[in-house]
Structure 1
Amino acid sequence: MTALCTALPERLSLLLVDDHRIFLDGLALALGPLCPDLRIQTAQTAAEAEQCLQHGSFDLILLDLRLPDMPGLELLQRWQRQGLPTPVAILSGSDSSQDAQAALAAGALGFIPKSADSEDLRQAVTRVLLGEVLPMPQTTERPHLTPRQREILLLLAEGLPNKAISRRLGLSEDTVKTHLKALFQELDVHTRTACVSAARQRGWL
């Protein structure tokens, strides 16, 4: 981490916005090694964050998506409309790829999961401070599928037709079709090929 930090200035000012005080304290401790003179201010609501911005300037804002008085995404969009020059990265407990995409589309420079360890967190923050846009995090979304639907999805990926799937699993073709319909709805697709492709994109196959 030392080599990475040498590119940062000796003095940095960060604003951490999260409604959990214990998390804020731990975050401040984890970010301590970033530079010799690290100044951290914290806010637990959108209103407190706005007050901090009125009275000071920051090198980076780490913003949670879940705030008690306003969604973090809405706050980020407001800052973008106001032309806030301070870079913003989202630090969230959400593991939704949709949340990550929405945050990046709204102007965030990165989406950092709260599950990141201290080293990964400091590296991600350093990259944002150096002007990088962090890539989309790997999705951890898990399929809401029954064990039978997972079996059918795997056989579908092998290219088996309904009749072969029904024989392999000892099911009627109508039952297989019912499970396929549920899979199509879950993945929002209309064909077998699209079903397999969407499942692979989500990491289900």
Structure 2
Amino acid sequence: MTTVCTALPDQLRLLLVDDHRIFLDGLSLALAPLCPDLRVQTAHNAAEAETCLRRQDFDLILLDLRLPDLPGLELLQRWQRQGRMTPVAILSASDSSLDAQAALAAGALGFIPKSADGDDLRRAVTRVLLGETLPAPGVGEKPQLTPRQQEILLLLADGLPNKAISRHLGVAEDTVKTHLKALFQELGVHTRTACVSAARQRGWL
């Protein structure tokens, strides 16, 4: 771990966004060896994260996908629209490759499973801090659709446009587009019709 950390500066400031306080405590301890002066700020929801970002700058944000007040994906998309340059990596309990691809499509630089051990976590965070984009896990495996992706795929098969899908599910239209982009990438298609056809061939519909 020492050889990996020598490439990082002596001081780093991280923002950890997750609503599980005990997990945040463990995460802070696991990240402590990254550098001599690691400063960790925590936020338990999207509103607290926004407040933290207004007050100071961070070298990296570790963001959970499941927040109590706003989905992490929508918060990430909001930051992208605002032109925020702070690198973001998703840290999630999800093992869905489509979740990972949706996060990367929305602008995240990595998708780190919460099941990762301390060494793997520090290696992944170090790579992102050094400017790398981590590949989505599980590439080449059969993806596990999340409930939201299943809903979007079913509504797509019914012929609904993005705006109608977003209204029906109560999510932002950008979120629908991001999930569709991930589905298109996974299926190797470029149109909605081809997406539905390929999904049927794979038994997803």
Give the alignment's TM-score, normalised by structure 2.
0.70
Count of residue pairs the alignment pairs up: 152
Percentage of identical aligned residues: 74
Match of 2:93 in 1: 93
**1:188 aligned to which of 156, 174, 199:** 199
| Code of the aligned partner of 2:39 | R
The 5 Å alignment of 1:28-177 reads 28-138=28-138
Closer, same or farther: CA 142–128 of 1 in aligned 2, 3 Å: closer
Q: Which has the larger radius of gyration?
A: 1
Q: Does the 8 Å contact 2:96/2:144 carry over to 1?
A: no
- Deviation string for 1:167-201 (max 9, x for gaps)? xxxxxxxxxxxxxxxxxx9x8344xxxx5xx9xxx
Q: 1:72: how far off?
A: 0.1
C-alpha distance in 1, partners of 2:75/2:57?
Answer: 17
C-alpha distance in 2, partners of 1:104/1:8?
Answer: 23
Unaligned runs of 5+ in 1: 145-184, 199-205
C-alpha distance in 2, partners of 1:126/1:66?
Answer: 23
C-alpha distance in 2, partners of 1:131/1:188?
Answer: 34
C-alpha distance in 2, partners of 1:121/1:32?
Answer: 11
Q: Secondary structure at the match of 1:188?
A: helix
Q: 1:141: how far off?
A: 6.4
